[in-house]
Amino acid sequence: MTPNHDRTSGVEGPEDEPRLERIRDAHPSRVGVGRTGSRPRTETLLRFRLDHAKARDAVTTHVPNDLVADLDLVSVRSRAESKTEFLADPSQGRNISEETAERIRADCTMDPEIQIVVSDGLSSTAVETNVPELLPVLRDGLADRGLDVGTPIFVEYGRVDVMDAIGAELGADCCVNLVGERPGLATNESLSAYFVADPERGGATSEKSVISNIHRNGIPPVEAGAEIAAVLEELCEAERGGSERGDP
């Protein structure tokens, strides 16, 4: 984890300054920020407001169309018609319309061993920041293992379970969904990779596996791409995931 050297300690005259710095360097939480009377210091308050604004932006902004095109992803939308509907009714982000199903059956490779899905989820920032580095490594890793990869798809307003519908429609053996996670005040860039074998609509959450905390201060995207390829190989061989595969 990256130390917090970019943040200045707000504690004046700490009794054990080295210990305080070790604690601050161990995680990104707001500790040792000090105070002015009963109120937070101005710098602390401004940083809090900045991080909160970044978190809101991650949820409400959209993944640029140019990025989707540069990554050579087929772009579709979940059943949600707008960001407002997506946030208010999560079930709409977990499924696709019959029209979208027909389109992907027409435009995408059928019956692949691996289907890659990218979804904005609750952080478009996470997709923008991590997927351009992660996806090439993942593709290379799957190619090295001789796995047949379908046409990668981007789902706007997509949640984790949308990969069940897409994987089932395309007849994929295994699916991975790279999803922007709910942002916090420590990072707005966290991405997760969810996996499912033999996807089917309405599949149980317990049948899914996950690698989470993918971002520059967690699992770096390049490292995550290699790890995801390895998990997909294991998943295809085992033909089951989640608790059935022995994941906690």
Rounded CA-CA distance 154/170 in Å is 14
* Both structure tokens of 96: 């696709």
Backbone angles phi, psi at 38, to 5 degrees: -95, 5
Long-range contacts of 41-47 (CB under 8 A, 24+ apart): 41/10, 43/8, 43/10, 44/10, 47/7
DSSP for residue 35:
-
Residue pointed to by tokens 């018609």: 81
Q: Is 181 annotated as a binding residue?
A: yes
Q: Is 210 annotated as a binding residue?
A: no
Q: DSSP E strands: which ranges in the chain?
A: 74-77, 114-119, 153-156, 174-180, 191-197, 208-214
Residue numbering of the annotated binding site? 160, 181
Residue numbering of the annotated binding site for adenosylcob(III)alamin? 160, 181
